[in-house]
């Protein structure tokens, strides 16, 4: 992938081959994710043009069913696998076999249920066949060994997997899908894409990580299922929180604002994906330091939280001020009405970036059940705020409900981390950036000019305050850049 190689080469020239591995790994993962996103955007833009609306809707339905089922199948086992690998690296081959075994147990239960959803939805003919093909593709999920490459810190190789899947899917769609009668072909192409990704992971596993070990005791897959249950349920609740405002908006206020909320949310979710990429890269460091050096864990988390706060809040400030122009540029003039929803939703990004430190630390320390409690609390707040805000504010009310739920979820997680893992004052680190952002917003709105002029003024205020923290910021950048150096050793 040219973009991936370019990012790796740039990071190597800047930092050196023996320099900050975390930065080079992050560059690889981010470029891989960006490549996949661009290919996916082009592919689905093409599908939307060659398929009739009903057929395209069937594709989206099949993807949604498969995505939700995949969360259940993955069941958090990979995340627990990385944690256990950090504690006992010698168990690499056992875990490399046990995680797919745990997922396969779930797959043989869940895949038939995903296929049966066609009967519950009253589907038939080619639409039902399409969903069944997507359900069949779920049998490849157990072999998605990204967690194993993550645990062995093979991020550059890991970064190739998703672009390979997306490239195979894109090639198949452009070559073989030309009209609505080719709908079933979409499912066949999806099967080919997930098979290619699974094959890549199997090759990568044997070359760069740990080969399978046979036989493996049944107790290990069962342990992974039990430990990963809270993580899997938390991931499911996160998906529920993302889609609940849209469902509530349609139910409580009709479909009038659904387009504004949906369009704004699609932009923000693409950005929030970067939060996952960042913490996915940081998680192996968290697992080691939580297990063997809590002091180092605290220093790395503090440095990361300060950097994330300044970067995330600054980006949210700019996009808040440019929300109307951004919605118009991407979706057209009628979607400018969704600017308010976007200006609220964009604050999901710094929230998820900041609170991710607590979420991943709880898992690393074996306290993932508190992560689930946080998501439950967030979902309850989301539903409560949405019930009152959506009828009055419509799309903006849905956005407010989602951000409120994410805030409460992060707050509960923060309390749990401080009690069970160690001091991590995420909201204190965000105090000065938030104050600077509020000052930037006040100055921007006092200027009578274009949105771009207002954004420049707001960013200037924010940047001036940030410069007062430049020495701390440079030290934090060094800490994070070299966080993967000098791995702590397990004590006997």
Q: Tokens 């639409």: give the residue.
A: 127
DSSP 55: H
Q: What are phi and psi of 484, to 5 degrees?
A: -90, 0
Residue 28 · residue 5 · CB < 8 Å: no
Please give the angle made by the CA atoms of 455, 460 and 466, to the nearest 5 degrees: 125
The pLDDT, as a whole number, for residue 243 is: 78
Angstrom distance (rounded) from CA 450 to CA 386: 32
Residue 330 pLDDT: 76
What secondary structure letter does DSSP report for 488?
P
The pLDDT tens digits for 427-483 are 788 999 999 999 999 999 998 888 999 999 999 999 999 999 999 999 999 898 888
Q: Give the closest residue to 422 by CA, choosing from 362, 354, 491.
A: 362
**d(Cα 112, Cα 135) in Å, to the nearest integer?**
7
d(CA 147, CA 155): 10
Which segments in the chain show pLDDT lower than 70?
A: 1-19, 253-256, 259, 485-492
Q: How many CB atoms lie within 10 A of CB 274?
A: 19
The per-residue pLDDT for 491 is: 37
Q: What is the pLDDT of residue 15?
A: 43
**HSE toward the beta carbon, residue 195, CA cutoff 13 A:** 9
Which residue, 198, 265, 280, 240, is CA-closest to 33? 280
pLDDT for 378: 95
Q: What is the pLDDT of residues 1-43, one digit of tens each?
A: 554 455 445 445 444 444 577 788 888 888 888 888 889 888 8
How high is the pLDDT of residue 254?
A: 60
Question: Which among 187, 160, 161, 156 has a CA at the least distance from the CA of 22?
Answer: 156
């Amino acid at each position: 992938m040219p973009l991936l190689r370019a990012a790796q080469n740039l990071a190597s020239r800047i930092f050196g081959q023996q320099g900050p591995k975390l930065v080079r790994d992050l560059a690889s993962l981010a470029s891989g994710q960006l490549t996949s996103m661009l290919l996916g955007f082009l592919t689905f833009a093409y599908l939307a043009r060659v398929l009739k609306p009903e057929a395209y809707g069937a594709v989206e339905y099949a993807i949604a069913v498969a995505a939700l089922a995949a969360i259940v199948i993955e069941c958090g086992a990979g995340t627990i696998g990385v944690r256990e690998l950090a504690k006992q690296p010698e168990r690499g081959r056992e875990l490399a076999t046990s995680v797919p075994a745990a997922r396969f147990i779930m797959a043989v239960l869940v895949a038939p249920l995903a296929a049966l959803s066609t009967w519950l939805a009253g589907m038939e003919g080619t639409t039902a066949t399409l969903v069944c093909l997507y359900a069949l593709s779920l049998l490849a999920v157990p072999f998605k060994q990204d967690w194993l490459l993550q645990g062995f810190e093979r991020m550059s190789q890991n970064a190739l997997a998703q672009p390979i899947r997306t490239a195979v899917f894109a090639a198949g769609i452009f070559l073989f899908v030309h009209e609505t009668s080719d709908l079933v072909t979409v499912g066949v192409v999806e099967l080919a894409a997930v098979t290619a990704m699974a094959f890549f992971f199997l090759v990568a596993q044997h070359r760069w990580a740990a080969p399978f070990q046979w036989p493996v005791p049944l107790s290990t897959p069962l342990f992974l299922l039990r430990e990963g249950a809270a993580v899997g349920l938390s991931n499911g609740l996160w998906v529920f929180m993302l889609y609940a405002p849209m469902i509530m908006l349609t139910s409580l206020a009709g479909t009038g604002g659904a387009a504004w909320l949906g369009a704004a949310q699609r932009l923000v979710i693409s950005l929030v994906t970067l939060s996952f990429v960042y913490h996915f890269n940081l998680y192996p460091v968290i697992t080691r330091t939580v297990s063997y050096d809590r002091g180092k864990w605290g220093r790395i988390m503090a440095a990361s939280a300060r950097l994330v706060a300044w970067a995330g809040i600054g980006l949210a400030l700019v996009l808040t001020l440019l929300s109307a122009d951004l919605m118009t540029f991407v979706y057209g003039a009628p979607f400018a009405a969704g600017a308010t929803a976007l200006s609220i939703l964009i604050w999901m990004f710094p929230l998820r970036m900041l609170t991710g430190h607590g979420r991943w630390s709880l898992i690393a320390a074996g306290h993932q059940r508190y992560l689930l409690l946080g998501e439950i609390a967030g979902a309850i707040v989301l539903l409560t705020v949405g019930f009152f805000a959506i009828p009055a504010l419509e799309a903006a009310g849905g956005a407010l409900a989602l951000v409120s739920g994410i805030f409460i979820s992060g707050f509960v997680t923060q309390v749990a981390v401080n009690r069970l893992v160690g001091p991590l004052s995420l909201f204190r680190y965000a105090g000065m950036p938030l104050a600077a952002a509020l000052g930037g917003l006040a100055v921007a709105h006092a200027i009578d000019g274009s949105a771009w002029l207002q954004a420049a003024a707001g960013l200037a205020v924010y940047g001036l305050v940030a410069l007062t923290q430049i020495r701390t910021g440079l030290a934090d950048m060094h800490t994070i850049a070299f966080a993967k150096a000098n791995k702590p050793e397990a004590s006997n």
